[in-house]
Amino acid sequence: MQVKLKEIANIQFGYYGKPSKDGTIPYLQAKHFNEFGQYIGENDTFLEEDPKAMANLLQNEDILFVAKGFRFYATLYKEEFGNAIASSIFFILRTDKTRIIPAYLVSVLNLPKNLLHFQQSGAGSTIPSIRKNELADFTFNLIPLEQQQKVVVLQELYLKDIELTNNIIKEKQKLFQTTISKIIN
């Protein structure tokens, strides 16, 4: 069944705040995510805990969609990351969980053909950006929840495989460098 994003999710802008050295709430920006859109947990920007900022705390399974810049992607915020606020580079999507699994929507948004669609929508300015109504009108195939869950499991396995592969590469680099150092010295 074809649906528009606005039919299954509430879309809001991320928070525009000024980072503070005295801040304690992580202020998420695109640089806090790897090339696969996964949170790397290395926060270096924070906001102070004032009422306005605290009203913008992310909720478990909010979807963060980067809508400005040269790399669009969606990622899933999880409460295990701790309290955080998304910067204004993101749209925050809160889904109707009776109709769609948030992690499934992340997979859909990150499909290459859909990212290309967003890149073409944002083209024409110095820094590409997607307007809220363009995102809201994005149409995709909403499959049954059982099938969505299968896509989510497949996505999780894929990301775990990527993580393991990267760890193997790092270990091979260490082994190579140690071996060369022993030969040279």
pLDDT along the chain (185 residues), means of 10: 96 92 89 86 87 93 92 93 94 97 97 91 77 95 97 95 94 96 90
Predicted local confidence at residue 125, as pLDDT: 67
| CB 105, CB 138: distance < 8 Å | no
Question: Any idea which fold 2-142 has?
Answer: Adenine-n6-DNA-methyltransferase TaqI; Chain A, domain 2 (3.90.220)
pLDDT of residue 123: 63
- Report CA 167 to chain centroid distance, whole Å: 21
Give the per-residue pLDDT at 26: 93
pLDDT at 124: 63
Which pLDDT score is estimated for 111? 95
Tokens of 113: 């053909």
Domain edges within the chain:
2-142, 143-185
Give the C-alpha distances (Å, rounded to integers) separating 84 from 38, 46, 56, 151.
15, 9, 9, 27
Tell me if 115 sits within 8 A of 69, measured CB to CB: no
Helix (H, G, I), strand (E, B) or coil at 90: strand
